[in-house]
Amino acid sequence: MVKSEKWLRNVLIETAYLREGTFTSGSQTKLIDVQIKDGVVAQIKEYQPEQFYESEIDGKGRLLLPTLKEMHCHLDKSKLGVPWRPVTPAQNIVERFTSEVAELDALDLSIEARAKNLINLELAHGVTFFRSHIDVHPAVGQRYLEGVQRAIASYDERFDYELIAFPQHGLLRSNAYNEVDTALKNGATLIGGVDPYSLDGDVEKSLNQTFELAVKHHVPIDIHVHDRGEAGRATFKTLLDYTKQSNWQGQVFVSHAFGLNDFLGEERADVFAQLAKERIGIISSVPINGAVPPLKELQQAGVKVALGCDNIYDSWSPYGTGSVVEKLNRYGEVFNLKTQEELTESLGLLTGGTKTLSTEEDGLWLKTGDVASFLLTEASCAAEFVARQTPVETSFYRGQVAFNS
């Protein structure tokens, strides 16, 4: 049964790199019409100005790109919508997360409303997938999870999402095992964690419990690791051991991962190769204050990398625009991406790997059968979108409009 059928007409896609001798000077493009049926691309034709269809949307010649994934946010922590207030002082992470609970409870706006403000902000930047950590521990129980679930339910399937049961106050330190277990029965689809070495004080026991819950509920793991030096190294080695023992390949992610900077020489090459082999993903918000992990080197070693905004006007940070493209743009500056190929293919860091062009293969995107989740922007190519951060005009999620400017 055909549920929905429409044409998105007069949109631009990239077809190949433009060469001037050995220099890649841009991207070759063409205008196309795309037929969308039941949320997937059914037909792709050259743009035909004289043709008209019963149900059609005019793309006005704008560039068509895959929609973006926000791989690290905290929908429960957003303060968007409440009057400006700078971050209150805190001596350390424990003081910060302890005061955060009372701070959020005192706000005049519900968690649903604050979470929706953050979702709307990110939708406007071309996101149609959210991976959000949600605090789950004895100080808040399940109420943040329930609040965010109510917010998401109000959207009537305009995006995909994953919710991580996140023991912000420490799995061991706050005795959060049972609350995390409950959250994984109540709709959380990943298990999180934070610094098992320094916060929980027992990397072995903390990761043991984390993997026990992951295996019990058949869910992936995405754990915050800020620890550096010996603490960071011990955490990565233990994490690799547990991933192997539990056969959890491709199901483990480390957010932040600052400590990867502290592996040197042969050990560095060995650990990066093991991360690639066990398919452990690294997720970064690309901090500019010195601790960003060697993301480009990790990719060259075959490690999967993805980006996320993390803090956006919450108890931890007054910053954040809610644009993952801003993070990719920062990645480009930090790692000195300047060529057409580097900029174009960096888009994969925001799309779960989908690229519009590749040096290895032509006609990568778009194809019939692809999910009809894409955005329109006033740019000539993906590289310009990344470097110039051109605004998103419209986005589609499985064929339905998810955002319109």
Q: How many residues bind Zn ion (CB under 5 A)?
A: 1
Q: Which is nearer to Zn ion, 171 or 381 (CB)?
A: 171
Q: Which is nearer to Zn ion, 195 or 310 (CB)?
A: 310
Q: Which is nearer to Zn ion, 278 or 310 (CB)?
A: 310
Closest approach of Cβ 331 to Zn ion, in Å? 17
Which of these, 188, 190, 196, lies nearest to 171 by C-alpha position? 196
Q: Which is nearer to Zn ion, 181 or 310 (CB)?
A: 310
Closest approach of Cβ 11 to Zn ion, in Å? 35
By the 8 A CB rule, do 69 and 306 touch?
Answer: yes
The contact mask relative to Zn ion for 30-59 (x = CB under 5 A, - = no) is ------------------------------
Q: Which is nearer to Zn ion, 6 or 133 (CB)?
A: 133
Residue type for position 181: D
Q: Please work out, in degrees rounded to the nearest 5, the angle formed at the alpha carbon of residue 256 by the alpha carbons of 350 and 247.
A: 85
- Residue 326 is given by DSSP the state H
Residues 6+ apart with CB under 8 A from 15: 27, 28, 29, 30, 362, 363
Which of these, 288, 284, 310, 308, lies nearest to 297 by C-alpha position? 284
Which of these, 145, 25, 80, 133, lies nearest to 315 by C-alpha position? 80
Task: Report the distance separating Cα 80 and Cα 96, nearest Å.
Answer: 19
Which residues, 294 to 313, sit near Zn ion by CB under 5 A?
Answer: 310
135 makes contact with Zn ion (CB under 5 A): no
Q: Which is nearer to Zn ion, 203 or 254 (CB)?
A: 254
Closest approach of Cβ 316 to Zn ion, in Å? 8
Closest approach of Cβ 174 to Zn ion, in Å? 17
Closest approach of Cβ 326 to Zn ion, in Å? 17
Here the tokens at position 57 are: 């949307």
Closest approach of Cβ 166 to Zn ion, in Å? 8
Closest approach of Cβ 145 to Zn ion, in Å? 16
CA dist 262 → 78, 126, 228, 266 (Å): 32, 35, 7, 12
Binning the chain into helix, strand and coil, the percentages to the nearest 5 are: 30, 25, 40
By the 8 A CB rule, do 211 and 248 touch?
Answer: yes
End-to-end Cα separation, the chain, in angstroms? 32
Helix (H) or strand (E) holding 342: helix 340-346
Q: Which is nearer to Zn ion, 9 or 79 (CB)?
A: 79
Q: Which is nearer to Zn ion, 291 or 364 (CB)?
A: 291
Q: Which is nearer to Zn ion, 71 or 357 (CB)?
A: 71
Task: Report the distance separating Cα 219 and Cα 288, nearest Å.
Answer: 32
Closest approach of Cβ 15 to Zn ion, in Å? 38
Closest approach of Cβ 96 to Zn ion, in Å? 12
Q: Nearest residue to Zn ion, using CB? A: 310
Which of these, 6, 104, 102, lies nearest to 52 by C-alpha position? 6
DSSP string, 350-374: TTTT--S--SS-S--S--TTSB--E
By the 8 A CB rule, do 66 and 16 touch?
Answer: no
The contact mask relative to Zn ion for 307-346 (x = CB under 5 A, - = no) is ---x------------------------------------
Q: Which is nearer to Zn ion, 33 or 310 (CB)?
A: 310
Closest approach of Cβ 167 to Zn ion, in Å? 12
Closest approach of Cβ 233 to Zn ion, in Å? 21
Q: Which is nearer to Zn ion, 7 or 97 (CB)?
A: 97
DSSP string, 184-253: HHTT--EEEEE-TTTTSS-HHHHHHHHHHHHHHHT--EEEEE---HHHHHHHHHHHHHHHHHTT-TT-EE
Q: Note the residues at the interface with Zn ion (CB under 5 A).
A: 310
